[in-house]
Structure 1
């Protein structure tokens, strides 16, 4: 396997302060005070002790990131040694797991006369309605300042065409279609819950999700996620996202996240460290918790209008990684989602999607963050900070 790297910005940028729903950059305490103290005061961090608590949490997160390579490898080795799967078959991708609609879409993409228009017809007629036509019960969300305010649209039932028009422009190039069969989703959730209840070590998916599982550590990468990406998803993304690396996706980060009443309920507005993301709703029984999409990362918050999108069990939402989005709170039950951040080294080697600069590469573990060594970038490599 080709060697993959992390950008050095991983150790200082996009640190999420959960209490204040804020992503920050930390280079030094003086820089942090200059950049964020006034913002934090407006969000309720008014005392010096509160500010020191924030600094402590940032240092703990930076230390976690610096040790990630070693700790992740240790967890994976321990899981392989002590964990006994409940459903061994779910670790090996089979076509019988996949929805017929997805297989039909892949078949079209493999044909010699495959076109975006032909794929879009399959998404609309066989893979569930395209988002443009799925807003009979649409709610509108508007982002103001640092918060997201939910505003009901009272004209939904009387003016559906207006809703269709609004959704088309608010969430372009977000596609929804069945990915898995319901039976497989049930088996996968049973396996995930079995692992969750075991004594095996568990790593956090990211700084925003407190509950979930890193699938590479559990052993899903080689025989499940990689063939899913290469054989079934890349043919679709090559047509739908050819302008942002969809035809050359060569690595991924895959994880599941869990939402439950006394755990995480929602996910704040953010963008992904990916060229293309697939988000599949696995189940179980839950109410509300739809996703919402705004503009691309570059669009100012004050100019952004978001649209709520229903996310049904077995269905995936496919979107660009830099498309800002979040998840509304569930109101009951438990929800599991499979997230696959798909990366294209050809794109990100030129510009890191997280810091917006040419990446400074750091040695790391597995697929890491999807950067590869170009012949002219070898001088930009540093040793891992573990």
Structure 2
């Protein structure tokens, strides 16, 4: 029998490290390379001594090297010890989904469905940015309350990434089955039509997390692109002010266009991961967004979206890694 094992690209341990204080993504191979490549850039942004940020970078690299094993250990501990506030929401039910979304998916699942007819039913921004209802407000409230309950627990938290320090990994919290069903049953029928050239019909893994914005903590999100082929972003509450999203061009394009898009509770925003985007600061309240990065190994096995090279694969023992795959013989199977 054949089995599929997920991997990360070697560049995960060296590239796209983010220095939040100076709003700068960097590659770190060693101290000499870093100072040669980034001293002038960082000094232009007010960094007096670039060597002072090296311990921060080396700590982040060590975290990344241990991340997938640490994440799995957190997941096991949470599964054993966490007492959910609303246990039923960990299983996807159609009643959690907006009826308009269910109808949209039903149409997209028809083999005769066309792009032209589908986009008549959703709102389009710029090029290939779409919004449509996803979750009911009742479900959004339940999920936010669950996140708050988990945040208040003493259990370990795996933060989404270095750009957002106060979110929650939904995989670690136990939503894997929920998210896989959401991707396979409900999102893929849409993406196969909207993004056929970006693996929309072959999404086979995901990473999902809650990002949290709050005064005196993370209030915004700097310009970036996602380590995903396709991203779904769903706001989960509405008791905050400002903080709209903005979108620029694809990261390989030269363009000055920017499109701002406001949030609406339960309304999903679907976009290509490689499109530059960010979030403006909130001015009041707390905001929660569900982010679902969806990946197609069929696409990313050919070219890593983070280093723009054929990926150099490093296997992970558990989970989806960063969505890269190798199919190999299962030596444990009976032949």
Q: Give the TM-score category using the shorter length.
A: over 0.9
Match of 2:219 among 265, 269, 293: 265
Aligned partner of 1:135 in structure 2 is: none
Aligned partners of 1:176 and 1:315 also within 8 Å: yes
* 2:236 partner SS: strand
**Distance in 2 between residues matched to 1:359 and 1:287, nearest whole Å:** 41
**Distance in 1 between residues matched to 2:251 and 2:21, nearest whole Å:** 22
Q: Give 1:374 deviation, angstroms.
A: 5.6
Gaps of 5+ in 2: 329-335
Q: Give 1:2 deviation, angstroms.
A: 2.9
Aligned partner of 1:161 in structure 2 is: none
Aligned partners of 2:295 and 2:323 also within 8 Å: yes
Match of 2:35 among 29, 33, 36: 33
* 2:63 partner SS: helix
**Distance in 2 between residues matched to 1:206 and 1:237, nearest whole Å:** 25
4+ residue runs over 6 A deviation: none
**Distance in 2 between residues matched to 1:250 and 1:35, nearest whole Å:** 36
* 2:155 partner SS: coil
Match of 2:232 among 255, 268, 278: 278
Aligned partner of 2:129 in structure 1 is: 174
Aligned partner of 1:118 in structure 2 is: 117
Aligned partner of 1:220 in structure 2 is: 175
Aligned partners of 1:284 and 1:333 also within 8 Å: no
Residues 120-269 of structure 1: matches in 2 within 5 Å? 120-123=119-122, 129-131=123-125, 171-222=126-177, 224-269=178-223
* 1:331 partner SS: strand
* 2:326 partner SS: coil
Aligned partners of 2:223 and 2:276 also within 8 Å: yes
Aligned partners of 1:203 and 1:213 also within 8 Å: yes
Q: Give 1:305 deviation, angstroms.
A: 2.4
Aligned partners of 2:236 and 2:266 also within 8 Å: yes
Aligned partners of 1:205 and 1:213 also within 8 Å: yes
Aligned partner of 2:9 in structure 1 is: 7
* 1:4 partner SS: strand
Instruction: Say yes or no: does 1:366 pair with 2:319.
Output: yes
Instruction: Say yes or no: does 1:354 pair with 2:306.
Output: yes
* 2:5 partner SS: coil
Q: Deviations over 1:169-215 (max 9, x none)?
A: xx310001111000000000000000000011101101100011111
Q: Give 1:306 deviation, angstroms.
A: 1.2
Aligned partner of 1:139 in structure 2 is: none
- RMSD over aligned Cα atoms: 1.2
* 2:192 partner SS: helix
**Distance in 2 between residues matched to 1:99 and 1:230, nearest whole Å:** 17
Gaps of 5+ in 1: 124-128, 132-170, 376-386
Aligned partner of 1:64 in structure 2 is: 63
Aligned partners of 2:4 and 2:326 also within 8 Å: no
Q: Give 1:284 deviation, angstroms.
A: 4.2
Aligned partners of 1:349 and 1:358 also within 8 Å: yes
Aligned partners of 2:5 and 2:327 also within 8 Å: no
Aligned partner of 1:310 in structure 2 is: 262
**Distance in 2 between residues matched to 1:353 and 1:83, nearest whole Å:** 35
**Distance in 2 between residues matched to 1:32 and 1:262, nearest whole Å:** 31
